[in-house]
């Protein structure tokens, strides 16, 4: 799968491209430095992750996965690198919205779960079908699903392997909004624009970093970092206002 990157007026788009289903040929579906470089771009204030065409991502390429299963050490390295990619997406210091249409299964749902918001089209189908293949999620799905869903709902999807429609996904909290299929990309972008408009980039990034710190650091360390970020933001805001006054 290829990732295509674009930025338009501060809102980025990452398009998953491997038609028709945008399946992942390998767990390491991108170079980590390329993804991190895009997420760190100065002008970026939010990102929409979308699939090329009718589907978001239908999961792993089963032929390639079967080949990798014959090389357990290589597969373990690939899975580690794939999880690193999703961690980079989840820890992005700008809001990330998944625009989900069509199939969002297995690794595709793990990509969507790494995003901070999920907007689904009315025709979306979501689930973890790995158990029916004698497998289980390998890119962090068992860790991410219980953060978003109740434990019971997460276990249901992960163990049963059943697929659900957008309406049920909304009801259990797996997606935030369900919208007409033709509107999913536009509404995902609109969500971002409404969230970040008139907010300086340095404020957005500091807030996002503080939110992530609340999960990855101890409570005391997270609060100390919040204090440091507060002072950093205050200094940068003062500097920018001083520059504006000199114009």
The strand order across the sheet containing 11-17 reads 2-8, 11-17, 46-51, 96-100, 117-121, 177-179
Which of these, 94, 85, 65, lies nearest to 7 by C-alpha position? 94
Contact between 119 and 175 (Cβ < 8 Å): yes
Known catalytic residue at 130: yes
The Cα–Cα gap between 156 and 244 comes to: 55
Catalytic residue of the set 43, 130, 168, 236: 130
Residues forming a β-bridge with 103:
125
* Cα 29–chain centre separation: 14
Cα distances from 228 to residues 19, 93, 208, 222, in angstroms, run 45, 16, 14, 10
Catalytic residue of the set 110, 168, 209, 244: 110
Cα distances from 153 to residues 25, 58, 68, 174, 176, in angstroms, run 29, 21, 30, 9, 16
Which of these, 179, 68, 47, lies nearest to 124 by C-alpha position? 179
Known catalytic residue at 64: no
The Cα–Cα gap between 155 and 152 comes to: 5
Active-site amino acid positions: 110, 130
């Amino acid at each position: 799968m290829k990732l295509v990157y674009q930025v338009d007026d501060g809102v980025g788009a990452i398009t998953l491209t491997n038609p028709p289903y945008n399946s992942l040929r390998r767990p390491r579906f991108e170079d980590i430095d390329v993804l991190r470089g895009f997420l760190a771009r100065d002008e970026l204030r939010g990102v929409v992750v979308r699939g090329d065409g009718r589907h978001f991502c239908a999961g792993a390429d089963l032929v390639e996965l079967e080949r990798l299963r014959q090389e357990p050490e290589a597969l373990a390295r690939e899975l580690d690198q794939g999880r690193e990619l999703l961690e980079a997406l989840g820890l992005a210091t700008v809001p990330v919205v998944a625009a989900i249409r069509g199939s969002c299964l297995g690794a595709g749902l793990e990509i969507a779960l790494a995003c901070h918001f999920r907007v689904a089209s009315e025709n979306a189908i979501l689930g973890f079908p790995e158990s029916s293949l004698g497998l289980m999620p390998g890119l962090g799905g068992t860790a991410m699903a219980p953060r978003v869903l109740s434990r019971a709902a997460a276990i249901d999807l992960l163990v049963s392997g059943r697929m659900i429609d957008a309406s049920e996904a909304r009801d259990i909290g797996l997606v935030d909004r369900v919208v007409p299929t033709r509107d999913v990309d536009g509404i995902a972008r609109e969500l971002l624009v409404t969230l970040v408009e008139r907010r300086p980039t340095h404020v957005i990034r500091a807030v996002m970093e503080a939110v992530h710190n609340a999960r990855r650091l101890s409570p005391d360390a997270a609060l100390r970092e919040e204090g440091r970020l507060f002072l950093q933001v205050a200094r940068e805001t003062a500097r920018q206002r001083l520059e504006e006054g000199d114009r």
